[in-house]
Structure 1
Amino acid sequence: MMPLLAGAVFFDRDGVLNEDVGYLHKAEDFRWIEGARDALKLVQDHGLLSIVVTNQSGVGRGYYTLDDVAALHRWMTSDLSKDGISITAFYACPYHEEATVPEYRIADHPDRKPNPGMIQRAIADWKIDRGKSVMIGDKQSDMVAAQSAGVTGALFGGGNLMDFLARHLPR
């Protein structure tokens, strides 16, 4: 018997879960998007996984480190846990063709959206059913990554994320 596959909501981070302040890497600069906490709770209440897939070219540009990104993601996890909300996993891509940190200077890296690498890795890692999943992003590159990974994409144009997600939640 095949194991049951989980459904998931993939979230871009900056501009979807939090206000995009440009190269965010410190908790003190973090502001949740309106309705983001409720949206994450909705995902959890529906038995879906919540997966964050975020390009982080600031790492490649030398503005901050992957450890800084991980620390911010730990802070987000801790902040959400106060309300019994969790994020299943975070995937961050530091690669960029114009990176100043040589190890991250890779053009068209498979993980960097619009490429689907982060979504594909999450699908494999968490045994996710593409047909029961959606990618919420605020850029066309998020939609291209979703389509390339075989996941429905929903372009978030701002406003209340909970209201938006309620209309796009996988069934």
Structure 2
Amino acid sequence: MKKLCLLLIALIGVTSLVYAQSSADKTTIYIVRHGEKDLSDPKNPDPQLSSEGLARAKSLAARLKREKFAAVFSTKYKRTTQTGELVAKKNKVAIAFYNPSDPKSLAELIKSRYKGKKVLIIGHSNTVLELAEAFGVTRPLFALTDDDYDFIFKVDVNDNGYASLSTGNYGMPHHTSVIKKN
């Protein structure tokens, strides 16, 4: 009976180690669009966040406060970097810039360099869904509209390359209904 108990304890221990290892190898990528931008100067190609956008950036940081990020990626625009600043500061990482026209290269970089870690990417209405697809998930929406600022996409990629997606909302809602998490 003692041998059976010891065998059972050993089996549980090995199973726990395998589970811990498999969850440690999961790479998690959060993808959001920048917060609302200041539209007071329609000729400004690089506006900062509006007061609503700054509030959304705070909401993003609050939503992700329990997560430990190894990297925060942004395009070189003020509105995207401002959206990620609080998360980057809390995690003591510098914001890294990426080329929004090449989401596949960014996805490959993250899957190789940040394997088993968490990453935040801030993009634009015309790049966020392409970024999710670059990690191997099906596009969750047909398109984002100009007032879609409250979506958050979470992509999990396991060590075999299988990717899954969950979606949600954060901050002040723009939608009458919240997207259910997958």
TM-score, scaled to structure 1: 0.46
Greater gyration radius: 2
